[in-house]
Amino acid sequence: MSILHANEMTVSAANANATETLTGAGFEELKARLAKEQRAIRIRRFTSNKGAVFGLVVVLMVLLLAILAPVICHYDPLALDTVNRLKPMSLAHPFGTDTMGRDVFARVLYGARISLFVGFTVGILSGVLGMVVGLYASTNKLADNILMRICDGLKAIPSTLLAITLMAVLGADIRNVIMALTIVSVPSMARLARGRALVIREQTYIEAMRCLGASKLRIMWKHMAPNIISPIIVQVTFVFASAIISEAALSFLGAGVPAPAPSWGNILNEGKSVIYQAWWIVCFPGAFTALTVLGLNLLGDGIRDFIDPTSEG
Amino acid sequence: MKRFILKRILSMIPVLFIVSVVIFSLVHLVPGDPAAAMLGDMATAEDIAALHARLGLDRPLVQQYFVWISNIFHGDFGDSVANHQTVASMILSHLEPTIHLTILALIIAVLIAIPLGMIAATRKGSVVDHSVTVLSLLGISLPSFLLGLFLILVFAVRFKLLPSSGYVPMRQGFWMHLKSILLPAIALGFMNAAFMMRMTRASLLEVLGSDYIRMAKAKGVREMAIVTVHAFKNTLVTIITVIGQSLVQSLSGAAVVESLFAIPGLGQLMVNSIGRRDYYVIQSIVLLIAVFNVIVNMFVDILYGVVDPRVRVS
């Protein structure tokens, strides 16, 4: 019904315009109306995918909780309160307290900040680096050989182990976590970007640009990059999700974010030793991690279907 | 076929070389002096110098690499810095639990995933199909250590059915052994099962849509026979790939799961070595698993040729 209506509007607007000829205000108005319609259609297409909407809502909720942590929860995530150790859930402590009497709810909220920050940074960094490596590899034979061989070598090492090794060598620190996880995820990103770039490079419009004498850099960044960015964006969402998992795993092993800081992995690690006395320390941050990752994966799937409808399974 | 296999084996060599270079360089990423880092803050200058000489750190990097790699070919992975054992003997003594855990995880994954994936593909849109979709989504979002923690909460803490930690070797009784690695194997296998399910379903769906299947249906072949005989063969390539990947995934995922369930396997050895700054142990384990990964991939490639004769030609 609504689609029909939208089409009718376009047609009538176009007719009205044809008689008026393309002049000033009428044309501008038509353009604005068309843009508005396009937007409405896009929103409708995105919201028709239930999973994607659910994912987006979950991610936004967690993001909101992380940003508003000091407003929602008045406890300091690092404040010790040894009298109230391992207290179960109550009104004062909705998620209970941990081994040192710290409020688990506060720690989960502030942990969301760390986990999301690490995941987001790793996603963006590996997206950018992957694109740089992929684009240069696709335009330069020598660079291609060297870069892709290094990528093959890095990809042959299972990512968990590579991340653990890097953390062992670099030392437990939030900056190093980001660095290690970026190194782990750049190779497949670069492969993806290179694969797309190799296809784009052969297209006529790039050839035309070359004939016109556009510089290599200009072709690469102004004409090729926009065409390879959409699969990269989708991949960034998935890397975001897997970086959250990896960060939690590394911190859980004691090789991630250093101890007192409340990352989800750290809370889980501390909760593990008292799992028989206090199930809530493990349960809540675990649920948050799983839900956030699920949300990001659903969102990634949704974005992929939205950008490229042919990929729909 | 022989030429095909030989080509696959030869193509493995450059990858192995690069992998070894990458892993070798990892340890040299240590900020500052690796010897000083390994010995900790209490080390005296003489200790550091002695370790330097012992590890050959004063030689040029290229020479160090060749000494390292030729030692490995002689089965010498170096000595552990933390306790006075060779790395090789440490790895050997931690090998068994990891192998058993990985195999059990793989069996669990295959037994769950392939039948469910096939049922989902043949009954598209049914309850099974929907639950397979949900399960595979959950599997991707639930990392193994998290699932492991939840499993401990339910089966060890709440119902006290299975132990939450510890490892009983096979020689102390099969059932005790199985009980001790069941939860970690489920935790490890679930993620792979999810992935396998997804792939089996997708590839079987694709095959079921092809013309020769319609032909078989028109001939009046029973549905059971179509799926198990006609369609299954063509999904084998996908299934082999996924099983190969899952094998490596379980082996590397074991690092986290083993430390969660306190199973004295390779993964736990590796994680414990982080705290001890025992870089050579970490390096050797990563090298072994990466080489194993490359070999598994080669076998998968060769199996393609066995299953699908078209691959052999190209």
pLDDT band at A3 (very low <50, low <70, confident <90, very high): very low
The number of angstroms, rounded, from the C-alpha of A129 to the middle of its chain's C-alpha atoms is: 15
How near does any CA of chain A get to the CA of B252, in Å?
6
Interval A225-241: pLDDT, tens: 888 888 898 899 999 99
Residue B125 belongs to domain with CATH number: 1.10.3720.10
- pLDDT for position A312: 46
Q: Is the pLDDT of residue A23 over 70?
A: no
Do the domain assignments include residue B22?
Answer: no
Q: What mean pLDDT is predicted for residues A266-280?
A: 84
Domain count, chain B: 1
How near does any CA of chain B get to the CA of A151, in Å?
9
Whether B260 and A286 lie within 8 Å, measured CB to CB: no
For residues B203 and B207, give the distance between their C-alpha atoms in angstroms, rounded to a whole number: 6
Average per-residue pLDDT for chain A: 83
For chain A, say whether B296 makes contact (Cβ under 8 Å). no
Q: Is the pLDDT of residue A20 over 60?
A: no
User: Contact B35/B55 with Cβ under 8 angstroms?
Assistant: yes
Do the domain assignments include residue B261?
Answer: yes
- pLDDT for position A309: 62
Do the domain assignments include residue B48?
Answer: no
User: Contact B94/B264 with Cβ under 8 angstroms?
Assistant: yes
Burial B71-91 (b: 16+ CB within 10 A, else e): ebeeeebbbbbbeeeebbebb
How near does any CA of chain B get to the CA of A297, in Å?
7
Do the domain assignments include residue B115?
Answer: yes
- pLDDT for position B32: 64
- pLDDT for position B123: 86
| Shortest CA distance from A301: residue in chain B | B137
Annotate B162-223 with three-state secondary structure: CCCCCCCCHHHCHHHHHHHHHHHHHHHHHHHHHHHHHHHHHHHHHHHCCHHHHHHHHHCCCH
User: Contact B22/A154 with Cβ under 8 angstroms?
Assistant: yes
| Shortest CA distance from A170: residue in chain B | B30
For residues A169 and B188, give the distance between their C-alpha atoms in angstroms, rounded to a whole number: 26
Do the domain assignments include residue B79?
Answer: no
For residues A67 and A52, give the distance between their C-alpha atoms in angstroms, rounded to a whole number: 22
Whether A268 and B146 lie within 8 Å, measured CB to CB: yes
pLDDT band at A131 (very low <50, low <70, confident <90, very high): very high
DSSP per-residue string spanning B59-108 = S-HHHHHHHHHHHHHTT---B-SSSSSBHHHHHHHTHHHHHHHHHHHHHH
- pLDDT > 90: percent of chain A: 26
Tell me the residue range of the domain where B145 lies: 87-313
Q: Is the pLDDT of residue A159 over 90?
A: no
Whether B149 and A156 lie within 8 Å, measured CB to CB: no
Return the residue matching tokens 């199985």. B178
Interval B2-35: pLDDT, tens: 888 888 888 888 888 888 988 888 877 766 666 7
Which residue from B138, B253, B286 is facing A165, i.e. has the nearest CB?
Answer: B286
Least confident of A61-70, A92-101, B212-221, B244-253: A92-101
pLDDT band at A130 (very low <50, low <70, confident <90, very high): very high
Whether A159 and B252 lie within 8 Å, measured CB to CB: yes
For residues A169 and A190, give the distance between their C-alpha atoms in angstroms, rounded to a whole number: 24
Each residue's pLDDT, cut to its tens digit, for chain B (314 residues) gives 788 888 888 888 888 888 898 888 887 776 666 677 677 667 777 877 777 777 777 777 788 888 888 888 888 887 777 777 888 888 888 888 999 999 999 999 999 898 888 888 888 888 888 888 888 888 888 888 889 989 988 888 888 788 877 788 878 888 888 888 889 999 999 988 988 998 898 899 888 888 998 998 899 888 888 888 888 888 888 888 889 988 988 888 888 899 888 889 888 898 888 877 788 888 899 999 999 999 998 888 888 888 888 777 65
Contacting residues for A29 by C-beta, under 8 A, at least 6 apart: none
Count Cα neighbours of B150 within 13 Å in the Cβ-side half-sphere: 18
- pLDDT for position B136: 86
- pLDDT for position B1: 77
Which residue from B23, B142, B256 is facing A290, i.e. has the nearest CB?
Answer: B142
> How many Cβ atoms from other residues are within 10 Å of residue B28's Cβ?
13
Whether A254 and B256 lie within 8 Å, measured CB to CB: no
Among B268, B95, B264, B255, which Cα is nearest to B180's?
A: B264
Do the domain assignments include residue B43?
Answer: no
Q: What mean pLDDT is predicted for residues A255-259?
A: 83
Do the domain assignments include residue B6?
Answer: no
How near does any CA of chain B get to the CA of A40, in Å?
29
ipTM of the complex: 0.85
Listed in sequence order, the DSSP H helices in chain A are 2-20, 24-47, 50-67, 69-72, 104-139, 141-156, 159-170, 174-201, 204-211, 216-218, 225-252, 264-272, 279-307
For residues B137 and B143, give the distance between their C-alpha atoms in angstroms, rounded to a whole number: 12
Do the domain assignments include residue B73?
Answer: no
Whether A168 and B282 lie within 8 Å, measured CB to CB: yes
DSSP per-residue string spanning A10-71 = HHHHHHHHHHH-S-HHHHHHHHHHHHHHHHHHHHHHHHT-HHHHHHHHHHHHHHHHHHTHHH
pTM metric for this prediction = 0.84
- pLDDT for position A8: 46
- pLDDT for position B110: 92
- pLDDT for position A311: 54
For chain A, say whether B134 makes contact (Cβ under 8 Å). no
